[in-house]
């Protein structure tokens, strides 16, 4: 029994030494996770007092849905030398600014489509109110023969 306890103690010290040696690799993902959570909480607190926060959040969601601009190397049409081009949605752009402009236009278009759908679904049609759910049943009419006494 005492030898087993000594082996367990040595293994625990060895595991502690390994954890201490690689603590930055082990704890780095947790620190990044906590930093993202702190940033998210700060953004949510700031959004409470910002009347344009909804638009910013909509643009962020739309930006996540649009692919990124890729840098590619292709042969130049005139010289045949390899040049850098920027690819977005299958279209090649000569400069990064042009490609990012096209991407931004796509992001804004997605956000605009979201608001158009939102208006289409929630605003009344043709100036009259249309209930979204099933109509409520009418209240029962009182029976004239059996009236309750006050």
Please state the rounded mean pLDDT for residues 26-34: 92
**pTM value?**
0.57
Q: Supply 101's token pair.
A: 């402009």
Question: How long a stretch of residues is the chain?
Answer: 150
Residue 125 is predicted with a pLDDT of 65
* Gap between the Cα atoms of 49 and 62, Å rounded: 22
* Gap between the Cα atoms of 77 and 135, Å rounded: 66
* Gap between the Cα atoms of 58 and 123, Å rounded: 19
Question: Taking all residues of the chain, what is their mean pLDDT, rounded to a whole number?
Answer: 83
> Is the per-residue pLDDT at 145 higher than 70?
no
Please state the rounded mean pLDDT for residues 30-42: 94
Residue 150 is predicted with a pLDDT of 52
Please state the rounded mean pLDDT for residues 95-119: 90
**Proportion of the chain above pLDDT 70, given as a percent:** 81
> Higher pLDDT residue, 138 or 93?
93
**Proportion of the chain above pLDDT 90, given as a percent:** 34
Looking up tokens 């005139």 gives 78
What's the pLDDT band for 5 if we cut at 50, 70, 90?
confident
Rg (CA), the chain: 32
> Higher pLDDT residue, 1 or 86?
86
Integer CA distances (angstroms), 57 to 10, 40, 63, 85, 131, in order: 53, 12, 10, 31, 29
DSSP reduced 3-state for 73: strand
Q: Supply 146's token pair.
A: 């059996």
* Gap between the Cα atoms of 45 and 20, Å rounded: 36
Looking up tokens 């049609």 gives 125
> Is the per-residue pLDDT at 146 higher than 60?
no
């Amino acid at each position: 029994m005492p030898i087993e306890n000594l082996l367990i103690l040595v293994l625990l010290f060895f595991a502690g030494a390994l954890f201490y040696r690689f603590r930055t690799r082990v704890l780095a993902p947790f620190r990044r996770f906590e930093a993202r959570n702190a940033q998210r909480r700060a953004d949510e607190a700031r959004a409470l007092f910002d009347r344009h926060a909804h638009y910013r959040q909509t643009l962020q969601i739309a930006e996540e849905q649009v692919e990124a601009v890729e840098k590619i190397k292709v042969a130049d049409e005139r010289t045949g030398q390899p040049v850098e081009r920027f690819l977005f949605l299958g279209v090649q752009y000569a400069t990064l600014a042009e490609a990012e402009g096209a991407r931004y236009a796509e992001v804004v278009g997605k956000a605009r489509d979201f608001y158009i759908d939102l208006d289409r679904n929630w605003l009344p049609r043709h100036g009259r109110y249309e209930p979204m759910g099933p109509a409520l049943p009418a209240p029962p009419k009182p029976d004239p023969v059996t009236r309750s006494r006050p």
